[in-house]
Amino acid sequence: MARILLVHTGGTLGMAGRRPEALRPAAFFRTLRRRAPELFELAEVDLELFSNLDSAEMQPELWSRLAALLYRRLPRYDGAVVTHGTDTLAYTASALSFLLPGLPKPVVLTGSQRPLGEIRSDARLNLVDSVICALRGPPEVTVCFDSHLYRGNRVRKVKVAEYDAFDSPNFPPLGVLGVEARFEPGLRPARRFRLLERLEPSVFVLKVFPGLEPSLARALLPGIKGLVVEAYGSGNFPVSPRLGRPLRPLFREARERGIPVVVVSEANRNGVDLALYESGAAALAEGAIGGGDMTPAAAVVKLMHALAYFRGRAEVRAYLEKNVAGEHS
């Protein structure tokens, strides 16, 4: 039989609790064998307990450890499934896509909106679909949820209380698991499989909103090494000094301090074009980097990765503008 590595990190899928009590991490593997025995008919599944955390507790250090585990263990398997809480799943999927370049086999992240032990759980189907994706899907980091397979660094969590919790607004699904399971080719490994697990977490995300005080934003700069600005529309923000809250000085001071700034859009669909409007052009003039249609999660993790491996401003910019793992169009 084919061999699949199933790595459990925690999340709702493996939790227990009688509502309305709070859900908590539980003994996942015992529940898995009882509630989803068909997984072990699809493949020889080896279980690995990485952690048993609510995904709100996932941190960059854990992404690095998880990537190292997959790099070490994956050569002995046909693919891997990682169970994960939904709240930060998009961040972990994005991180693994950058930390494991040249991935030769599928790594599929999944989770659920209800615990596996509950009667109306979506966990069982997500697990079965994910094992099928790990056996037949494209060799890259993906997210399988509600019978759809998405590129991992393209997903956003869009719903809290419905089973179709994830979407990939700017990139089509890599697979649909209906009566038949259909898959797209996905990424082709262009280089040898490597582990690049270092990350620099001193990054901040600044969301632009009406009334944002530039002085508060600039006060952040001494304590960070990189900044992601989630701007309006195609990359817009206030620039008029007449109205008292222009953000161009923030970009100027970041440039003077050598802090790279990546601009992404608060809009789910389409992306940033800094050359389109006056404020975007001002950001470009101060050295900002347009994130295109990258999700905020992908931009944050990619900036952490760039800061860990590149020192010069030109090198960091080149890496951030390059399409490394299919993260932008």
Query: Quick check: is 150 catalytic?
Result: no
Out of 71, 232, 277, 309, the active site residue is 277
Residue 267 CB-density burial (10 A; 0-12 exposed, 13-18 middle, 19+ buried): middle
> Are 3-183 and 203-321 the same fold in CATH?
yes
Residues 144, 147, 151, 154, CA torsion sign: negative
Q: Rounded to whole angstroms, how far apart are CA atoms 166 and 150? A: 9
The predicted pLDDT at position 22 comes to 54
Q: What pLDDT digit, counting tens, does each position of 86-116 carry?
A: 999 999 999 999 999 999 999 999 999 988 8
Residues 168-173 have a mean pLDDT of 97
Catalytic residue flag (residue 277)? yes
Annotated catalytic residue: which of 31, 86, 88, 295?
86
Residue extents of the structural domains in the chain: 3-183, 203-321
The active-site residue, picked from 46, 87, 273, 309, is 87
pLDDT tens column, 218-266: 999 999 999 999 999 999 999 988 888 999 999 999 999 999 999 999 9
Say if residue 46's pLDDT is above 70.
yes
The answer to whether 73 touches 46, Cβ cutoff 8 Å, is no
Q: Is 31 a catalytic residue?
A: no
For range 14-25, the mean pLDDT: 56
Residue with tokens 């993790």: 301
Task: State yes or no: is 164 an active-site residue.
Answer: no
Predicted pLDDT at 21: 56
Question: Rounded to whole angstroms, how far apart are CA atoms 174 and 88?
Answer: 21
pLDDT for 23: 47
CATH of 203-321, one of 3.40.50.40, 3.30.720.110, 3.30.360.10, 3.40.50.12370: 3.40.50.40
Asked about 12 being catalytic, the answer comes back as yes
Q: Give the global pTM.
A: 0.94
Residue 125 in this model has a pLDDT that exceeds 90: yes
Sign for the CA dihedral angle at 5, 67, 177, 145 comes to positive
What class has domain 3-183?
A: alpha beta
pLDDT band of residue 26 (cuts 50, 70, 90) is low
What is the per-residue pLDDT across 62-93, written as a single tens digit (0 to 9) for each?
A: 999 999 999 999 999 999 999 999 999 999 99
**105, 122, 157, 167: the active-site residue:** 157
pLDDT at 307 over 60: yes
pLDDT at res. 16 = 63
